[in-house]
Amino acid sequence: MIPMLLLILISSLHQHESVAESSHIKVHHASTKEQNGVHESQHEKVLSVTVDGIIQSPEFPNTYPRNTVIVWRLVAVTESSRIQLTFDPRFGLEDAEDGICKYDYVEVEEPVGGIVLGRWCGSQMVPGPQISKGNQFLIRFVSDEYFPSDPGFCIRYTLLQQRQSEPEAPAVMPAWMQSVDVLREAVAGFSTMEEVMKYLEPDRWQVDMEDLYKPNWQVVGKSFFHQKKSRGMVDLNLLREEVRLYSCTPRNFSVSLREELKRTDAIFWPSCLLVKRCGGNCACCSHNCYDCQCSPTKVVKKYHEVLMLKHRAGSRGLQKTLTDVPLEHHEECSCVCKNDSD
């Protein structure tokens, strides 16, 4: 009789112990409820995100229970909305093993495509903010039966404002209707020939490019080469020669074609070109004069190929031609007295 009573008592104790332990297991029963077109399954809780809110481990900021599985699906109100997750600095779960969160962890996933953005545990580093690419987030919390920790985690979710549609760009006046000054300023901002032609004729710029480079009776373009002189050993004579060369010598200057050619009726691209002009100072001028200046002693005229735009007289559109423009180049310079140069 006594053994039978002991057996019943032991069985009763085991039953009570199982109920107490299972009370910590978070399992959602099957449901057919639907929110925002998303079905809530037996393993997850669907939260419609309309305002800011929080989700947290049970008992936060105290020790969370063992054997727990909770899944939250956050769903923004519209397809274009986005959700931001921000973790509370108070963060602590069971430590990782060999750098891997195997036992207790919180995980964030993009439901579309099933991309896991991160799985975190331990307490060394608080996870950074997370922003959804779509309008949903899946957050999963798992703890096993050993070593629960505190404080657990707390996540604030925020509904980001929908991106407003871009304002429509104001209509651009056709190039042929723009004044010379407006068109000159617009063309000067482009860095390639293709950009210029696209701006002038968006629908047929490629045809215009081909027309510009079709061979004709006119000689198109000229090339100029400046060979560098070889230098010998560095000695006093060379240093003296360098002073002479760099004190007053032809050097690159950028000139405005509009100013250089005195043309206000046309637009050139490029609008500026490099030419050789005398420059430098004459501090060691050999002439005994009060004002010694660097002046050209040999000037040549060279031609440069550019794109020229002109309004067609009495008609719509712009005349586009490749043309050669003459520019002065200084090939030799010397320090001379100002009175002599006059």
pLDDT at 45 over 50: yes
pLDDT confidence of residue 43: 66
Q: pLDDT per residue over 226-284, tens digit each?
A: 444 443 444 556 666 777 667 888 999 999 998 888 888 889 999 999 999 998 888 77
pLDDT at 87 over 90: yes
pLDDT confidence of residue 220: 43
pLDDT at 79 over 80: yes
Q: What is the mean pLDDT of residues 109-125?
A: 87
pLDDT confidence of residue 5: 45
Q: pLDDT per residue over 161-185, tens digit each?
A: 765 555 655 666 777 777 777 887 8
Give this prediction's pTM.
Answer: 0.41
Token representation of residue 294: 């660097």
Token representation of residue 290: 């009060």
pLDDT confidence of residue 82: 92
Per the prediction, the chain carries an average pLDDT of 77
pLDDT at 26 over 70: no
Name the more confident of 100 and 224. 100
